[in-house]
Structure formats: structure tokens, C-alpha cells
Amino acid sequence: MQETTKAPQSGLDEQDVLNSRMKKIKHKIAVISGKGGVGKTVTAVNLAIAFAMHGHENKVGLLDADLHGPCVPIMLGMEDQKLKVGPIGALPAKGPLGLKVASMTFVLQGKEVPVIWRGPLKMRAIQQFLTDVIWGELDFLLIDLPPGTGDEPLSVLKLLPDMDGVVIVTIPSEVSQTVVGKSITFSRQLNVPVIGIVENMSGFVCPDCGKETNIFKKGGGEKVAKEYGVPFLGSIPLDPRICNDSDEGVSFLAANPSSPAAQAFKGIVDEIKRFVNE
């Protein structure tokens, strides 16, 4: 995306261009987690789909800000797409339900090409993504950040003006709950609101009999939310179809709109809307 850095031809610097483009987006939300393996990206992708399905079709953007392991295009069946680069910036790729998607996958020369960058280069790449992509008018921009509190989350939360807040994804295990507190503290130190906590993989609902079985301990996400005084947005039950559909690049929510997991995502979207519109 190097050629797109020529965009500020009118005398504006990159931060001015970024601010101007972000003003066209009503709500900007980062999806973060304290550790890997909690299903953060799956949650971000399905939240974006849920927003689009429930009143915001063609008005949702999704930025895959994980430079080293970008998975969003795989989950949306968009691996072969590219960003269209023009003289004033790059147009995001089009996904299901009119999702506008940007990812490092779209600019690499091949699927197996690694990104071997140190901190300053990663921060510069994030800044270019945020500045150069022409999102247009959106109701929601969701940003899928890599786990932890490293360069990418720090860059995004510091660069983006008027962030509505972060959604923190966890699972019911004790280990995962321990690092949620770090994510909350990280966000608060950067003066970014915590929209709430989502507990993923919260019980398994049998598709045949409807009985729920707790694979992990249940209620950990709600417990840590109360401990830190932040909203609890909801629990997403385990559903093997989510994993299978993600691997196949198929929208789980569109294929299974009445499933318990799909209803959970809709409920979480409603809670997020309530938070950002208060």
C-alpha cells in the first residue's frame, strides 16, 4: 500500500486524512482479547455479520489488524480478493451482506508469505491501513486486533479518533479470566471505554435434544465483568458449525439464524447498540 501514502495531496497530513475519513463512520469498535485461543476473530467476524443482518447491510466495515496471522478473509471466503488501489487511497474488498473488509492478506504476494516486522514497521503499517483505506460512510467499523497489549492494539487505540470503545472476548476458563483484567486496564489507561465482555464457548447446546453441557466452567465472563465494573454483553455457546463454516468461508449466522449461537450474537449486537447510542 506504499503508493497510497501520496493521498494527502491537498496539503493535509496523514492524521488529517485519517480524521476526515473516520468522520464518515458513526461508530468505531475494537474487538480485543487478553490471550489467544478464545475465538476473538470468529467473534469479530460474526458480530460484523450480525450487525449487517440486523439493520446495517452495506454499512459495516471490518478491519483485520492482525498483521502476522490475518484470518478474517478465510472466514469470509475472501482469500483471493485484493484491495483496489487508486490515486487517493485503497477501496476495501466486498464481502457478504455488503461488508467492507481490509486485511494484510489482500496486499501480500502469496498466502504463505510471512510478515517479519519489528514494532516501528508494524505501527507504520497499521497507520497506513487506517489512513489509506477509503471506507466511505459506515454505521459500524469493527477492528479485529491481535491478542494482548502489543504494538498493533496500542497503535489502533492511539491513532483512531473518537473510538466508541472495545469489546473484550474471553472464555470461561480461569486462565483466560486472569488476563481479561489486563485488557480492561490497558483500555482504561488509553481512555478508551470498555463496551463490555463477551464470554465465548460458554456451554454446548446439543442440536438433537437441546440440553446444555458446560465444557468449561460457566459464568467466568460475567464474574470478571462485575469485578471490574464493566458491562457483560452476553455468552456465546459452543456450536461445531461455527468452526466448520469459518473454515469453509461460509456465514454461520446466515445459514443458521435461529440457532442459540446466532441468537446470542444478535443479543450482543443489541447490547452494543444500546451502549454506543446512550
Give the three-state DSSP class for 91.
strand
Query: Average pLDDT, whole number, for the chain?
Result: 87
What is the residue range of 155's domain?
2-276
The maximal CA–CA distance of the chain, rounded, in angstroms, is: 64
Contacts of 94 (CB under 8 A, 6+ apart): 81, 100, 101
Q: What is the per-residue pLDDT for 88? A: 86
* pLDDT tens-digit readout, 242-256: 989 999 999 999 899
Q: What is the per-residue pLDDT for 3? A: 40
pLDDT band, residue 257 (cuts 50/70/90): very high
- Is it the case that residue 229 has pLDDT exceeding 50? yes
Tell me, what DSSP letter sits at residue 211?
A: -
What is the spatial distance between Cα 141 and Cα 25, in angstroms, rounded to a whole number?
Answer: 7
- Is it the case that residue 264 has pLDDT exceeding 80? yes
CATH at residue 55: 3.40.50.300
What is the reported pTM? 0.89
Q: Which of 107-116, 180-189, 202-211 has the lowest mean pLDDT?
A: 107-116
Adjacency order of strands within the sheet including 232-235? 93-94, 100-103, 60-64, 138-144, 25-32, 165-170, 194-199, 232-235
* Assigned C-alpha cell, 215: 465444557
pLDDT band, residue 4 (cuts 50/70/90): very low
Q: Which of 56-70, 195-209, 251-265 has the lowest mean pLDDT?
A: 195-209
* pLDDT tens-digit readout, 30-57: 999 988 889 999 999 999 999 999 999 9
- Is it the case that residue 10 has pLDDT exceeding 90? no
Mean pLDDT of 97-114: 79
Number of compact structural domains in the chain: 1
Mean pLDDT of 202-228: 80
Selected residue with higher pLDDT from 105 and 201 = 201
Rg of the chain over Cα atoms, rounded to whole angstroms, equals 18
